[in-house]
Amino acid sequence: MVVITKFEMHIRVRYQETDAQARVHHANYITYFEVVRTEMLREAGFSYRDMEASGLFLVVAEAECKYRAPAVFDDLLCISIETVKAKGVRIENHYEVRRDDEVIATGRTLLACVDKSGKPRPIPKNLRLPS
For the chain, percent of residues with pLDDT exceeding 90:
82
Q: Please tell me the predicted confidence (pLDDT) of residue 85.
A: 95
Within 8 A by CB and 6+ apart from 112, the residues are 58, 59, 61, 89, 90, 120
pLDDT, one tens digit per residue, over 71-93 is 999 999 999 999 999 999 999 99
Confidence of residue 48 (pLDDT cuts 50, 70, 90): confident
Q: Is the full-model pTM beyond 0.85? A: yes
Contact between 125 and 91 (Cβ < 8 Å)? no
Class for the domain spanning 6-127: alpha beta
Closest CA to 7 of 48, 58, 41, 53: 41
pLDDT, one tens digit per residue, over 101-115 is 999 999 999 999 999
- Cα(77)–Cα(23) distance, integer angstroms: 13
